[in-house]
A and B are shown apart, each in its own frame.
Chain A
């Protein structure tokens, strides 16, 4: 990223914990060449590098914000380890997919497809939420930010405000979601 240059690992971690999204871009750019070389050497092509690297830095982002996170190596080693695992996982999925592919053709639709359709409805409902609620719930469920960080990012008075606002937003979303489902579908 322009203007950031080489940051110390701890600085990057601190900024991730503060919710500085520019760190994602920084990690991406710093590790692009390494991940690209690795993927190309391991039966991959350039088209998947972007996906693998994006997933890797997002995984780092999520992990760093977990309460028990402790970095025991260099950050670049950690990022590369995640990228490698993701790529091996992808390769595994691709080989499995080849085997299952023919069976799918015979069976037609599956339960998984139905589940994805249901999930896409909820995703749509989440996207239609008001911006503050969406960001609040995203920061809590995805990013794993503490209430203190969320309060700072969303300009709330304190952690308690975040806690109660979070419940209100969730209740509102849940009501919308439950309105789209039968209770039995959820059991």
Chain B
């Protein structure tokens, strides 16, 4: 019997006990006289046993490993969060540093990336140096409100909607759900994290910051609406019996309505006396525009929609400049009509979301 592949498979069958009948007899007869076959069987058996030992060890190791393996529980502790935030900030800085072409900074001009055809107006120019003094960056700043997200920057506190007691404000709704605070949180550092330096020379600015872009600036006349009636409040009567004497003919039916309507809006006139609007506009007259307001249309890099009003200038963020806009002022409060929707403009020099006027009485007055 020759030692070839066929013999190998035959020996395997013999060792596994799969050889039967006449084939087995023939094989045994050959085994008795063939020493080479005896050696082959012996070595094949030894090798098979060694293979089995190795495999058994392997399987046991596998079982032990799997049994002892516990499901990893990854708890995100505040420390890990801080570490992740720091790592993300560093990564951001590195990416920003290498992605900006040096040629942008050789002209001694602002390194602001322009996204629109109109030129951005630089209102502030500051350089930030991080507290650890390992990294200095010159940052061109256009607007303090919504700096670009390419580098961590110092931002003013996120805008808040003030809660006022006046019923008018209570009935107003927030039309923009964009959460500025949340959107900025991941990309900003607090003021404590950096030391602020004044820097006028931006020729060596290393970092280009995408910032808000001023789209256009317009001037609008403001229609002043002022109550035009002589009122007489009978002090001996309860509040529910207040009657308003208007300059026009008095209407008994309306007086009745005043008594029962809870939703009517109370406003305070210039003299500080309370007047109840009865749902009509008879009590108001429009005066000729007495002043103008400057309106700037801004495009926010974070798509912020809102406004900022300091008393003379209204900055509108994310508002289409093609929309028709009219301004009215009632009781020292400014209202903007954008394509038929009235919004309340609050003078507080903060960043505010657009708040729609929903009070029906007030709307009637404004839409008159």
Chain A residues close to B by CB (< 8 Å): 1-2, 21-22, 24-25, 28-29, 50, 54, 57-58, 61, 118-119, 122-123, 125-127, 134, 137-138, 140-143, 163-164, 167, 170-171, 173-174, 177-178, 181, 183, 186-187
Asked if A123 and B59 sit within 8 Å, CB to CB, the answer is: no
> Complex: how many Å from CA A118 to CA B44?
14
Chain B residues within an 8 Å CB radius of A119: 46, 49-50, 53
Asked if B63 and A138 sit within 8 Å, CB to CB, the answer is: no
Nearest residue, chain B, Cβ from A185: B42
**Most chain B beta-carbon neighbours within 10 Å: one of A61, A167, A171:** A167
Asked if A138 and B67 sit within 8 Å, CB to CB, the answer is: no
* CB of B58 within 8 Å of the partner chain: yes
Contact check: which of A28, A61, A164, A187 meets B5 at CB < 8 Å? A164
The 10 closest A-B pairs by CB, nearest first: A122-B50, A142-B55, A138-B55, A25-B66, A141-B48, A142-B52, A167-B5, A141-B51, A186-B42, A123-B50
- List, sorted by A's number, 9 A–B pairs whose CB atoms are closer than 8 Å: A24-B59, A119-B49, A119-B50, A122-B46, A141-B51, A141-B55, A163-B9, A170-B8, A171-B8
Number of interface residues of B (CB under 8 A): 30
Asked if B52 and A2 sit within 8 Å, CB to CB, the answer is: no
> Complex: how many Å from CA A164 to CA B71?
42
In the assembled complex, the CB of B53 is this many whole angstroms from the nearest CB of chain A, namely 5
Q: Identify whether the interface residues of B are mostly helix, strand, loop, or mixed.
A: helix
In the assembled complex, the CB of B33 is this many whole angstroms from the nearest CB of chain A, namely 14
Chain B residues close to A by CB (< 8 Å): 5, 8-9, 12, 35, 38-39, 42-44, 46-56, 58-60, 62-64, 66-67, 71
Asked if A126 and B47 sit within 8 Å, CB to CB, the answer is: yes
Asked if A57 and B35 sit within 8 Å, CB to CB, the answer is: no
Nearest residue, chain B, Cβ from A164: B5
